[in-house]
Amino acid sequence: MAEPRVFEHPVTVGPRDIDRMGHVNNVVYLRYAQDAAVAHWKAVVTGELAEALLWVARRHEIDYLKPALPGDELVARTWVGMADGATFERFVEILRPSDDRLLTKVRTLWVAVDPRSHRPRRIPEAMVRLFEEWSGSGVADGGDGG
């Protein structure tokens, strides 16, 4: 398998992301990972192909390594793994560039669903190739989540 194409998405820790422990709440990391995935999707897949699928999460695996703190500027690095039928694997690493720390690692299995029937749908080979061939800047300017 070729080296994965990495997409970087900037994240600024906001006041609402902080829990009573004084660091980013565990569930917020999942939002950061999802925001990076959505931004990557929008950067790579457009037009009819983008309208052909919706995505639902089947599984999230998260390793919390170091805490993110109020005001931190982070980077969520994401790439896709294997596609199998209707399932696409995605990886996200959340880093703090100021001290070069890896804070969180996420592996998610996403299932493609038909937008009308909401039933699982095989991922088109053309979509898999888009992610393999994508050669964008690799940096997003933010995202609207999703």
Domains of the chain from N-terminus onward: 7-133 (3.10.129.10)
pLDDT tens digits along 34-79: 999 999 999 999 888 889 999 999 999 999 999 999 999 999 999 9
pLDDT exceeds 80 at position 143: no
pLDDT at 141: 41
Other beta carbons within 10 angstroms of residue 75's beta carbon come to: 17
Strands (E) in the chain, as ranges, are 7-12, 54-64, 73-84, 87-96, 101-113
Q: How far apart are CA 39 and CA 144, in angstroms?
A: 8
Residue 131, classed as helix, strand or coil, is helix
Question: Checking DSSP bridges between strand 54-64 and strand 7-12, what pairing results, if any?
Answer: unpaired
pLDDT at 132: 85
pLDDT at 136: 57
Note whether 25 and 19 are within 8 A (CB).
yes
Note whether 90 and 79 are within 8 A (CB).
yes
Residue 46 identity: T
